[in-house]
Chains A and B, each alone.
Chain A
Amino acid sequence: RRIMATVSVCKYYPGGFSFDNCKRNALLEADISKLGFSSPAARKTGTTICGVVYKDGVVLGADTRATEGMIVADKNCSKIHYISPNIYCCGAGTAADTEMTTQIISSNLELHSLSTGRLPRVATANRMLKQMLFRYQGYIGAALVLGGVDCNGPHLYSIYPHGSTDKLPYVTMGSGSLAAMAVFEDRYRPNMEEEEAKRLVRDAIAAGIFNDLGSGSNIDLCVITKGKVDYLRPHDVANKKGVRTGSYRYKHGTTGVLTKTVTPLNLEVVEESVQTMDTS
């Protein structure tokens, strides 16, 4: 019958993630490692991110290096993502995952705040993020530090890839989190002033940058207070690229000229036509 030759009835697939290639990828992975190669690694942000609650608000800090295996993929990437005018989120882990997750939550929060008519709360963003990350059981590798100021004051949350969250006055995440946490544990005190809080975060990120291979380059800060956000990028260029002290260029006249002949090429204009580009 003619059905055999044509496409059979297409079921309606609702969209979202497609797991079609998983088996093929698993087979390829096994075969490639037998041959000695390795499949391309996802770009991670091997990172130091941290946040601290001070007297009037929240200070978030992040380094700016993105790695792909052992290579630095981006020397100056931006890890502090916008969620809403009063809420920002730093992301560690797989770069694409943090990027897409924060963008989706930002859109959802915008729609939600339009529907409620109020400024969104940090707890709402926290709950949306944790429910999404739990749904995907940790396969979305996004470790986030969420901070903002809403009608109830300043709030700071840390969110792990499997969906657990902590609400704390100071948090660090990423591969350089231990170095940054050491600085926090030493010098944190409640109700700091803004300058002191900024210096503390800057020092914590610097500790991560200098002591962890996965973090590097500059330090970005984001200071959120009620009604004002200061996105300082870069706040501190901790690793300046070196300036070359010598030059390998040869001076004019280094090579002696023996003979010189000039042959002019006589080209005639045969045809000249104008074709207008279709810019409609």
Chain B
Amino acid sequence: MDYAAVDYFFIYFSVFITSQAFCLNILWNTRGLRSQLKDSVPVTGLCPQAGPYGVQDSLRRGFSSVKNELLPSHPLELSEKNFQLNQDKMNFNTLRNIQGLHAPLKLQMEYRAARQIQRLPFLPSSNLALDTLRGTDDTIGFEDILNDPVLSEVMGDPHIMTEYKLGVL
């Protein structure tokens, strides 16, 4: 989450400085789904292929090979993983074009604040404030019906997770 915000700021400041703001924003806005898949494949997102126990998860991710680590297991996997991020980027972009730089900056600050409202590290949070800001508190999608993290069968060890969060691991 953090690197996306930094990414955003970097792009905008560099654009502002070179004063080609208008052209570059149009380019960003018209990029379709396909181009986003090509340029921004986060290779680090797919490897290492470690599962919950720290070793290769053959059952879910297949045998370990270079091809396996570079390519997603389904064409939609990357686009779905980054969907919320990409939606936010597009919305902030449009907002910036309409209202100026201050609008997305203020909203990003609010998002960061809302994202910090969490429960203990091993408990799932409802993210109500974040949902309200995004406007998804009155919509239902597949992320609410399928694989609801509240109903997940595995849970991280509370001690390990709190230690990790507090940095004493």
Q: B80 to A17, Cβ gap below 8 A?
A: yes
A residues within 8 A CB of B140?
104, 107-108, 111
Q: A19 to B74, Cβ gap below 8 A?
A: yes
| Residue B62 interfacial (CB < 8 Å) | yes
Q: B52 to A10, Cβ gap below 8 A?
A: yes
Q: B72 to A19, Cβ gap below 8 A?
A: yes
With A and B bound together, what is the CA distance between A14 and B136 in angstroms? 14
A residues within 8 A CB of B3?
none
Complex interface residues of chain A between 1 and 49 (CB less than 8 A to chain B): 3-4, 6-10, 12-24, 27
Q: A104 to B142, Cβ gap below 8 A?
A: yes
Complex interface residues of chain B between 69 and 123 (CB less than 8 A to chain A): 72-77, 79-80, 83-84, 122
Instruction: Take A10-B154, A111-B138, A137-B33 as given contacts and tell me if A21 and B143 are in contact as well, using a CB distance cutoff of 8 Å.
Output: no
With A and B bound together, what is the CA distance between A13 and B148 in angstroms? 9
Taking CB as reference atom, which chain B residue is nearest A132? Answer: B141
Contact of B145 among A19, A104, A139 (CB under 8 A): A104
| Residue A136 interfacial (CB < 8 Å) | yes
Q: A8 to B147, Cβ gap below 8 A?
A: no
Q: B60 to A20, Cβ gap below 8 A?
A: yes
Q: B157 to A18, Cβ gap below 8 A?
A: no
A residues within 8 A CB of B156?
7, 9-10
1/0 per residue B39-71: CB within 8 Å of A?
000000000001011100001111000001000
Q: A7 to B146, Cβ gap below 8 A?
A: no
A residues within 8 A CB of B142?
15-17, 104
- Chain B: minimal CB distance from A21 (Å): 7
Q: How many residues of A contact B (CB 8 A)?
A: 34
| Residue B155 interfacial (CB < 8 Å) | yes
Q: A18 to B147, Cβ gap below 8 A?
A: yes
B residues within 8 A CB of A137?
33, 75-76, 79
1/0 per residue A83-118: CB within 8 Å of B?
000000000000000001000100110011011000
Q: A13 to B160, Cβ gap below 8 A?
A: no
1/0 per residue B20-35: CB within 8 Å of A?
0000000000000100
B residues within 8 A CB of A12?
124, 149
A residues within 8 A CB of B60?
20-21, 23-24
| Residue B7 interfacial (CB < 8 Å) | no
| Residue A135 interfacial (CB < 8 Å) | yes
Lowest 9 CB-CB distances: which A-B pairs, in order? A23-B62, A16-B143, A10-B156, A20-B60, A22-B73, A15-B143, A19-B74, A19-B77, A22-B74
